[in-house]
Chains A and B, each alone.
Chain A
Amino acid sequence: MKLCYKWLNEFVDLEGISPYELAELLTMKTCEVEGVEEPFAHLNKFPVVEVKSLKAHPNADKLKICEVQLADKSLSVVTGAPNVKEGKKYPLAPAGSVLPGGKKIENALLRGVASEGMLLSAEELQLKDFMWASADNLTGILELPEESIVGHSVAQALHLQDTILEIDNKSITHRGDLWSHYGFAREIAALLSRPLKKDPLEEVNLLVTNEDKLEVIIDTGAVAYYGMVFSVTNLPITPLLIQSRLILCGMRPVNFWVDLSNYVMLEVGQPTHAFDRKKLQGPIRVAYAQPGDSLILLDGRKINLSENILLIKDGERPLALAGVMGGKESETSLETKTIFLESATFLRPEIRRSLRETLIRSEASQRFEKGLSPVLAKKALYRYYALVKQFVPNCLAGPLSQVELATALQNKIHTKVSYIRQRLGLEELSLSKIQQVLGSLGMKVLAHDDDLTVEVPDYRSYYDITIPEDLVEEIGRLIGYKEIRPVPFMVACTVPTKANHLRRMEHELRKLFAWRYHFSEVYNYHFCTANELELDKRYSEKALFLLNPLQAEQKYLRTSPLVMLLRNVASHYKEFSELRFFEIERIFLPRQEELPQERLFLSAIETTREPVKDLKQMISLCHDLLKKMGVYHFEQRALKQNIFHPTRALELISEQKSLIRLGQLHPAILDQWKIPLPVLYLEFFLEDLLRYYLKGEVRYVRLPRYPASDFEITIIAPRRTPVAQILKTMGEVESPPEEDRTYIEDIRFLYTYEGPPIASDKKAVSLRITWRNPTRTLKSDEIKNLQEELVEKMAKAGFPLRS
């Protein structure tokens, strides 16, 4: 919302407070001021001049030579404007000045005659919004009002020399009373402890000079409705000051009736609406739309109305969206001589519903949606009356139509001085200070010892000041929060705070993946397309979806972490030869109890040129990871899932539960995503590891007292024998026994070799076994026996020693 500094100054004395200081004051105590600017400052350099005499140009029929008066000197200016007249006043661009469009004006010879400047049109000043300009004025130079003073700037002459404070609307959504100049003036008066100079809302004597009165009925949706018929014989041009103020506030002059209506709204905050009286039959009703109702709005849009939209109707006929926008049909024009003016109080929920359903917004709805006091509606109508009378004294005004369904609220709040002190942290705050502050805001304070009863004025009683905490805020901000000293909390000496183990694990995983495994962490969106959802079908069936996605096709919430990492690879593989990304986030699965299930995952992706080698490394990574997470016993098992290569995928399983899945992605997926490199992927859910992580203690094994005996063998096996099968054939690793017994301490796979001289359907597998006896050193013949037994056992199982 835009506030004019000079307009505010009409209501409250701003002597000694610059617009910038005012903005600072409001920022600190009331609301956010987004900017302070003088929008027409560029017009200050164009003075008002009077044309003293006109002469024909000797060499051109269309040009005239004007002798113009500018303060104490006179200049000669050549103009081609057809509307130039002797004795009238115009804006001048003196030689050396630059027009708003960037054109530079210089001393020039026009067809042999010197011109010391240029008389300007409204267009050249970029002031086309003004309506006082007559038809010639639009094509020719701008004729300024009689009362303009020669030598003043054109900005001054047009009342445009003012500074605008731009208020952030969001910061006054809770303050329905602030949506006007008078409202802000009242606030500023309290902030400055200065009195108000005048009150535009004070009672005026209504002189009824006309009998025309429309009946008004409120079916629903409003608490007060006032209306009056106004009639003039000639519609005047809206006074310049009013037009200028509308323009300064970002509105456009339309016609006398509408301009005054908007002026009253900007002045006191109450929207009113002028209907063309000739288009109305009466009675005027505030009622919901009926099935099938439609309305063409002021801006020409036709809207079909749903049944719970509040309308103004003429009998049964929709006239206007109540409190939001008028209808085209009953709109006033420059020819309208008689109007019916509406000033009503619509209920906030009704207006908000209309806004939600129609998505139409207006200056009026912006005010009604805050919730206004019905007192204001009546006073605003009187203000309109006073303004019309001021500009058109012989205007006829009808009797007041009025329906009042409720008296204005004046909230009474009970609280305590001690409570206010405690909440603010201002122990020394006095009762008299509280009374003074609240009093300046128009509240009445009754004190009885510690007890306070505060009566709130009507304009702050609607959705604004309703509870003691609201008073705490009012007192705090008026005194100034800088008066409050920071105080440490009294820390309760209780048990240590509850640890968030999952979070601890999350951060630890980040360190592992980034610093130990060399992956970089990425953040990804949750939103994906139906195709992307289908990619990994494991949980995709009942995916949640957005009712209002930003992009229509990206409406699903992901059910697999894979999709987004694939997107990441697809976007960056061309630029970077190796990509290793991981992500920790949540996927969304169908609801469980109250809410959808959110599962925290870690997923990682890697591009590779040697998939077998790198997959082995990834398996190594997973073993390391599980140990770090406290999982010591697990096995590898082949995994068949549509996202993975048919043989190069596995899961790591412990206690019958799959903990990690990993593998090379199926080439079909990569073909589909046009990624020309093999890609490896791993994924797990943090909660699956949490219980191991929480137990996660180091497993201490007593140090052995006698040496072990290692034995490496290489056997020949059919090429596709799983290594696990060979290892199993060798025996089982045991825990150290107490007694004198030799046990298998370790069995380890070393490497596989394929190729000559090994037959093509065979492979050589090297393994190492470790024996130990806890009670003594093994003798060499014992060792030899063990070795021979093992070789024999392996041969029997079909794994002969490599010769």
Chain B
Amino acid sequence: MAMERESFLGQLDLISSQLKEKLAEVHSESELEKLRQEYFGKKGFLSSLLKKLGEFPSEERSELGKKANFVKEELMATFQVRERQLRYLRYERLAEEEWFDVTEPPLPFPEGYHKKGEGHIHPVSQVQKELEDIFTSMGFSILDGPQVETDFYNFGALNFTEDHPAREMQDTFYTNDGFLLRTHTSPVQVRAMQQLSPPFRIIVPGRVFRYEELDASHEHTFYQMEGMVIDREVSVGHLLFLMHTLLKEIFKQEVNIRLRPGYFPFVEPGFELDMLCLLCGGKGCSVCKQTGYVEVLPCGLVHPNVLRAGGLDPMKWQGAAFGLGLTRLVMLRYKIEDIRHFMSADPAFLRQF
């Protein structure tokens, strides 16, 4: 039998007043949730009533539908208010109900600590440590520098011209107050020259930033390791020796390296250093893109303008520098396919290291 209009409105009223009463009596969020099911759930009072709208002729249906919806929205709003109240009440009662004696001394370690599951050190940290150990054994100091840098240290002192394209907003993150996020670890070359007295040998592992959209092979936040040697006489031969020793230690086997010309404003001459592909031995494979060589790092002899910016006289001091892509090296070593894993905090990734 079809429902009467009056009866529909009456029921709507009843539901509304009942719910409001019940809401006032609810004192916990779990009770509230139960109430929500009871009224707004699929088979709840309100939903069941609304289903009956279909039994009315179309004119009446739209009028009743409007009213019913109005009531429904009003009720839901009241519901939310109550929900918020209860939540704040819960927060307020925390101090009382969840008291905790912060002065209680813990049981001493390890009896006081029972955790299962392994912890892992991030692969970049591990490789960084390994490199630091190699270099300190060769008499290098480990330096750090600021990640938020000035234009002078990041560009100007490194012989980038005023209008060099790398300074543009599409390549570099700039901050308020006129700073930038360092685009390489090279600014520390200049800071080192200013702080240390030559001769010296330093490495600078650290986080760097490039204005770059994320994808499997591009990151805006990644890791590099700068190296610099300042001495009375530094030649391409010295640089070759250093790079050869370094790579031999990193890959724990004999390596073949070669230099090719490469252009970077802060070195002259500048090089790209390639290593004979360890996987195919130079025959060509997917890792070396069929060339037999893998590009490993850029390096060179320090440009006299950079020495000057660091306060050294290029007639008296010479230098060599290199910039190792730490993130890239880690990817190369473990054959990691996607650079985004490093910053993902994904336990499935971390626990492999």
A residues with a Cβ closer than 8 A to B are 27-32, 170-174, 348-349, 352-353, 355-356, 369, 422-426, 467, 469-470, 472-473, 476-477, 481-482, 484-492, 497-500, 502-503, 507, 510-511, 513-515, 517-526, 544-550, 557, 567-568, 571-572, 575-576, 578-581, 585-586, 588, 591, 594-596, 598, 612, 615-617, 619-621, 623-624, 636-639, 645-650, 666-668, 671, 720, 722-725, 727, 748-749, 752
B322 within 8 A of A: no
Contact residues, B84-105 vs A (CB, 8 A): 87, 90-91, 94-95, 98-105
Specify which chain A residues have a CB less than 8 angstroms from the CB of B287 in the assembled complex: none
B121 within 8 A of A: yes
Check B106–A623 contact: CB distance below 8 A.
Answer: yes
Check A648–B98 contact: CB distance below 8 A.
Answer: yes
Specify which chain A residues have a CB less than 8 angstroms from the CB of B342 in the assembled complex: 523
In angstroms, how far is the closest chain B Cβ from the Cβ of A468? 9
CA distance in complex: A572, B348 (Å): 10
Also in contact, A620 and B94, with CB within 8 A (given A352-B163, A423-B235, A425-B236): no
B82 within 8 A of A: no
Also in contact, A489 and B231, with CB within 8 A (given A425-B238, A469-B301, A636-B102): yes
CA distance in complex: A637, B181 (Å): 38
Interface stretch of the complex, out of B40-48, B50-58, B266-274:
B266-274
Check A525–B303 contact: CB distance below 8 A.
Answer: no
Within 8 Å by CB of B347, from A349, A576, A588, A638, lies A576
In angstroms, how far is the closest chain B Cβ from the Cβ of A51? 44
Also in contact, A617 and B114, with CB within 8 A (given A524-B343, A526-B221): yes
CA distance in complex: A498, B236 (Å): 26
Specify which chain A residues have a CB less than 8 angstroms from the CB of B127 in the assembled complex: none
B8 within 8 A of A: no
B80 within 8 A of A: no
- Give the 8 A-B CB pairs with smallest separation, nearest first: A425-B237, A473-B269, A724-B103, A620-B112, A425-B235, A620-B106, A486-B241, A514-B119
Contact mask for chain B residues 112-130; partner A; CB cutoff 8 A; 1 contact, 0 none: 1111111111101100010
Within 8 Å by CB of B144, from A481, A500, A619, A639, lies A500
Specify which chain A residues have a CB less than 8 angstroms from the CB of B16 in the assembled complex: none
Centre residue among A507, A520, A671 by max chain B CB count within 10 A:
A520
Q: What residue of chain A has the Cβ atom nearest to residue B264's Cβ?
A: A174
Interface stretch of the complex, out of B19-27, B65-73, B253-261, B278-286:
B253-261
Check A668–B91 contact: CB distance below 8 A.
Answer: yes
Specify which chain A residues have a CB less than 8 angstroms from the CB of B242 in the assembled complex: 489
Check A518–B115 contact: CB distance below 8 A.
Answer: yes
Check A27–B175 contact: CB distance below 8 A.
Answer: no
Say which size band chain B's interface belongs to: 35 or more
Q: How many A-B residue pairs have CB under 8 A?
A: 298
Check A486–B179 contact: CB distance below 8 A.
Answer: no
Check A623–B91 contact: CB distance below 8 A.
Answer: no
Also in contact, A489 and B121, with CB within 8 A (given A571-B345, A624-B113, A647-B100): no
Contact mask for chain B residues 319-348; partner A; CB cutoff 8 A; 1 contact, 0 none: 000000000000000000000001111110
Check A497–B136 contact: CB distance below 8 A.
Answer: yes
B10 within 8 A of A: no
CA distance in complex: A37, B129 (Å): 43
In angstroms, how far is the closest chain A Cβ from the Cβ of B205? 9
Contact mask for chain B residues 215-244; partner A; CB cutoff 8 A; 1 contact, 0 none: 000001100000001010111111011101
B79 within 8 A of A: no
In angstroms, how far is the closest chain A Cβ from the Cβ of B261? 5
Check A523–B124 contact: CB distance below 8 A.
Answer: yes
Centre residue among A369, A586, A752 by max chain B CB count within 10 A:
A586
Specify which chain B residues have a CB less than 8 angstroms from the CB of A500 in the assembled complex: 141-144
CA distance in complex: A586, B301 (Å): 32
In angstroms, how far is the closest chain B Cβ from the Cβ of A369? 8
CA distance in complex: A41, B105 (Å): 80
B107 within 8 A of A: yes
CA distance in complex: A487, B229 (Å): 14
Specify which chain B residues have a CB less than 8 angstroms from the CB of A619 in the assembled complex: 106
Check A173–B113 contact: CB distance below 8 A.
Answer: no
Centre residue among A524, A526, A720 by max chain B CB count within 10 A:
A526
In angstroms, how far is the closest chain B Cβ from the Cβ of A645? 6
Specify which chain B residues have a CB less than 8 angstroms from the CB of A594 in the assembled complex: 150
Within 8 Å by CB of A520, from B119, B175, B259, lies B119
Check A646–B121 contact: CB distance below 8 A.
Answer: no
Check B268–A473 contact: CB distance below 8 A.
Answer: yes
Check A352–B165 contact: CB distance below 8 A.
Answer: yes
Check B142–A645 contact: CB distance below 8 A.
Answer: no
CA distance in complex: A422, B173 (Å): 40
CA distance in complex: A503, B203 (Å): 12
Specify which chain B residues have a CB less than 8 angstroms from the CB of A489 in the assembled complex: 229, 231, 234, 238, 241-242
Check B102–A637 contact: CB distance below 8 A.
Answer: yes
Extra pairs beyond A492-B199, A620-B112 (19, CB < 8 Å) = A172-B263, A422-B235, A423-B236, A423-B318, A425-B240, A486-B244, A514-B120, A517-B113, A521-B120, A544-B175, A546-B173, A550-B211, A579-B347, A595-B146, A636-B102, A645-B100, A648-B98, A723-B103, A748-B105
